[in-house]
Amino acid sequence: MTTRIEKRFADLKSEGRAALVTFVMSGDPDYETSMAIIKALPKAGADVIELGMPFTDPMADGPSIQAAGVRALKAGQTLKKTLQMVRDFRKDEAATPIVLMGYYNPIYIYGVDKFLVDAKEAGVDGLIVVDLPPEEDEELCLPALKAGLNFIRLATPTTDDKRLPAVLNNTSGFVYYVSITGITGSAAPDATKVSAAVQRIKKHTKLPVAVGFGVKNAESARAIAAGADGVVVGSALIDALRKTLEADGKGGPATVKAVTDLVADIARGVRAAGTVAAE
């Protein structure tokens, strides 16, 4: 059975362009503003939505996304509320895939079996759980695949050809290539090196390869999109959100507009890469 993620990447491949994958933290800066952002993302140009599950001890996230997680938790966000956000999103939007991204601890506390049932029922399409290596697939990956959810794994510049088969085993939907060695938002990726890395990964898998970490604007998105199946942007969106917050941390219509305006600009960059490639 073709999943929503697989269909979206296949459709975009037919269009001759890469996907724009947008990351926002669920519940940041508050439930209502976060919900408004998520609902506006597809119209702004997002092809896939990554929804962060806020956690107090992230290991791969830079300062921007860490702060987003803290804001969300202080505003009362929980994993249960994150799943409710997906349900609310699905009331009006059935086509855009949603991937939950985060860490295993909240899922473990929620209960793996209950989480998978609730996530599938809510309309979640895939999971990225950063701190579960392939050696722990029985914990969550295999049950998630059995439940009909894609399990997306990260590959990095230090994932060599010897390690790649283990990383790609049981990976589905797409492969998330981390363009830099470090945390999110910490450096600008080298598009030439990224393209070469994507081609190396593609020798091991037929899955689409989306590239994240360090994409900030339309120009960097176009450069990455020219050599990948997808571009992931997260920290730049979180930074745009943060700049609109009031002194008390509250968001509003300006917050939604700041995020969606940047998504629209980056989407133009992604589409421009596809146009160039087709010429």
- Encode pLDDT of 44-87 as tens digits: 999 999 999 999 887 777 888 999 999 999 999 999 999 999 99
What 3-state class would DSSP assign to 228? coil
Per-residue pLDDT tens digits for 144-174: 999 999 999 999 888 888 999 999 999 999 9
Instruction: Name the catalytic one among 28, 47, 61, 239.
Output: 61
Residue spans per domain, the chain: 18-179+189-275
At residue 214, the pLDDT reads 78
| CATH of the domain spanning 18-179+189-275 | 3.20.20.70
Active site includes 61?
yes
Burial (CB count within 10 angstroms: exposed 0-12, middle 13-18, buried 19+), residue 248: exposed
Per-residue pLDDT tens digits for 167-213: 999 999 999 998 876 655 556 677 788 888 999 999 999 999 999 87
Q: Which helix (H) or strand (E) holds 170?
A: none
At residue 278, the pLDDT reads 52
Instruction: Name the catalytic one among 50, 125, 137, 239.
Output: 50
Distance CA 58, CA 259 (A): 23
